[in-house]
Amino acid sequence: MSVSPLPALDDDNRFFWTSGRDGRLRFLRCRACRRYFHPPAPRCPRCLGPDVAPEAVSGRGVVESFTFLPAPPDGGDDGRRVVAWIGFPEQDDLRLTAALVGVPVDRAAISLPVHVAFEVHGEVHLPVFVPADDPGGAS
């Protein structure tokens, strides 16, 4: 179980943090130049066009880097100790920081293929990532 604060939902970020309701991960994408971008902004950072909307991505990704959170003080392991940069095949500068779930610390590795899953906290569906060969990652 997460011991960290959850994002406060507002009109700009609600689509992202609630996207997992249908099991899909979404980023804002420019309808004019087709660029994905993150974090959300009112205009496309490339062409500056205002016509941007959430669009689902495959949910497949790859670990670009990672670190470990401190072990819980009670000695228990909540399965949330590895946090990674995740890159996405849709675009080379699209990236998220997110927890790796079901990855023991000794299995964490750069280039590990992963797939999105979601931790549900009320309205918030927190994207996390599981190894691509883990059936729990299928959406």
Partner 1 sequence: MDDIGRGPEGAVISGIGQSDVGRRLFRPALGLTLDAALTAIEDAGLTRDDIDGLAAYPGSGSAAPGFAGPSLLEVHDALRLQLSWYAAGVEVAAQLGPVVHAAMAVTTGLARHVLVYRTVTEGSARARAKEAQAERAPSSRPATVEGPMQWLAPYGITGAPQWYAFYVRRYMHEFGLQREQLAQLAISARTKAARNPKAVYREPLTLEEYLGSRMISDPLCLYDCDVPCDGSTAFVVSRADHAPDTASPAIAIEAVGAGAGPRMYRDQLPDAWFGASAAAQMWARTDLGPGDVDVAELYDGFTFLTLSWLESLGFCGRGEAGAFLEGGERIALDGELPLNTNGGQLAAGRLHGLGLLHEACVQLRGTAGDRQVPGAEVAVVANGGLPNMGCVLLTRVR
Kindly tell me which of 4 and 135 has the beta carbon lying closer to partner 1. Answer: 4
Which residue from 64, 79, 131, 134 is in contact with partner 1, where contact means CB under 8 A? 64
22 phi-psi bin (left φ>0, alpha ψ -120 to 50, beta other): alpha
CA dihedral 114, 120, 125, 127 (to 10 degrees): -20
CB 131 within 8 A of CB 102: yes
Q: C-alpha distances in angstroms, 82 versus 49, 59, 108?
A: 37, 19, 7
**Residues 100 to 139: which contact partner 1 by CB under 8 A?**
110, 126
Tell me which residue of 70, 27, 18 sits closest to 45, measured CA to CA: 27
Identify which range of 26-34, 46-54, 89-97, 130-138 contacts partner 1 by CB under 8 A: 89-97
CB 111 within 8 A of CB 63: yes
Which residue from 83, 113, 131, 132 is in contact with partner 1, where contact means CB under 8 A? 83
Which residue from 53, 67, 77, 123 is in contact with partner 1, where contact means CB under 8 A? 67
Identify which range of 4-12, 28-36, 48-56, 130-138 contacts partner 1 by CB under 8 A: 4-12
Q: Which residue has the tokens 């699209």?
A: 94
- Rule CB under 8 A: is residue 39 a binding residue for partner 1? yes
Positions in the binding site for partner 1 (CB under 8 A):
2-8, 10, 13, 38-39, 64-69, 80, 83, 85, 93, 95-99, 110, 126
